[in-house]
Homo-oligomer: A and B are copies of this chain.
Amino acid sequence: MQARKGNLMNVRTDVKVLDATLRDGGLCNNFMFTDEFVKELYKANIKSGVDYMEFGYRASKSLFNESDYGKWKFCNEEDIRAIVGDNVSDMKISVMADVGRCDFRTDFIPKEESVIDMVRVACYIHQMPAALEMIEYFHDLGYETTCNIMAISQASSNQIDEALAMLASSSVDVIYLVDSYGSLFPENASELAKLYLAAAEKAGKQVGFHGHNNQNLAFANTIETLSYGVSYLDATAFAMGRGAGNCAMELLLGFLKNPKYNLYGVLTFIEKYMLPLREQGVVWGYDLQYMLTGQLNRHPREAMDFTAQKRSDYCEFYKGLLDNF
């Protein structure tokens, strides 16, 4: 099947780096970022050559109370514009829309009136028909679209084949491989990526990867799938993201050879804004409870509870996981 594309010395011009700090990181602090944080992240991403910045979710206001969350749970058009103006930059802007948690028919305006460039549709594999309906709707509004099939490590091969066939004949631009549980090893991730790439390439689409760091493999899986042709790469500043966190932007930019990418912008941002966030008590990142759910291919919710309770009795936790298999 697919061979590696490019090598460790050259530039793959098809690569697009997407910063998901506000969106996946927002899951760690209920999206309560200050405007200063968001503005400086926006500037740092532009300086660093990042291709897309995801501002958050556009979640349903009938399902979620606006007062319970920071504004990036909802990503109102005017809130994004307050940060970016008309976004006079080479960087594009995305938001995520979850199947079943988004009023997509009322909450999106046509692309030509919006500052948003891309809508990423997140779903579980059994929700493909709903995801496709949203994708076609956003596509017709003029947006670039992606489909991010979450928790792929629990899907069967048949489901994956079917989903890829459905997406291949859709209007979606990018199909994302999402390791929600951080349970994929590089060999798994690259095998799945090859399946995605085979389906996508025939249909003129791209493939993306979004990792989680439960087994300290988010960066490794990102560059492994990249090497086979995956081109949309999610990362977050200081690896901020739910549970064990994501692929660190600083690791990814340090790896990519395209001189447009610049590590210094992101380093400056981390030093000035991410370290204080951590000191304020916002918690994310690799730890043994996440390793254990990753090894067992499980949702990290029990590990998140363990973390929230500041527990460190890993053995009890492990026994509990095994009891509830």
* Cα-based distance from A251 to B291 in the complex (angstroms): 7
Partner of A250, one of B7, B220, B291: B291
User: Once the chains bind, are A215 and B219 in contact (CB under 8 Å)?
Assistant: yes
A312 cross-chain contacts in B, Cβ below 8 A: 271, 275
| Bound Cα distance A279, B314 (Å) | 16
Count of A interface residues, CB-CB < 8 Å: 38
Residues from chain B with a CB closer than 8 A to the CB of A295 are 254-255, 263
Nearest-CB distance from A43 to chain B (Å)? 15
A255 to B185, CA, bound (A): 9
Given contacts A8-B187, A185-B255, A187-B227, contact A264 B315 (CB under 8 A): yes
Partner of A318, one of B215, B217, B264: B264
Taking the nearest CB of chain B, how far is it from the CB of A302, in angstroms? 15
Q: A185-B223, A219-B216, A312-B275 in contact; A267/B288 too (CB < 8 A)?
A: yes
Q: How far, in Å, is A124 (CB) from chain B's closest CB? A: 24
- Report B-chain residues with C-beta under 8 Å of the C-beta of A288: 250, 267, 270
Chain multiplicity (copies): 2
Nearest-neighbour CB distance to chain B for A284, whole angstroms, equals 14
| Interface hits, A248-304 → B, CB 8 Å | 248, 250-251, 254-255, 263-264, 267-268, 270-271, 275, 288, 291-292, 295
Contact partners of A90 in chain B: CB under 8 A? none
Cβ of A186 within 8 Å of any chain B Cβ, yes or no, is: yes
Most chain B C-beta atoms within 10 Å of own C-beta, residue among A4, A213, A267: A267
Contacts of A215 in B (CB 8 A): 219, 251, 254-255
Whether a CB of chain B sits under 8 angstroms from the CB of A224 is yes
The answer, yes or no, to whether A14 is at the interface (CB within 8 Å) is no
Q: Find residues 55-109 in chain A having any chain B CB closer than 8 Å to their own CB.
A: none
**Residue A313 interfacial (CB < 8 Å):** yes
- Chain A 213-254, CB-CB to B under 8 Å as 1, else 0, gives 101111110011001000000000000000000001011001
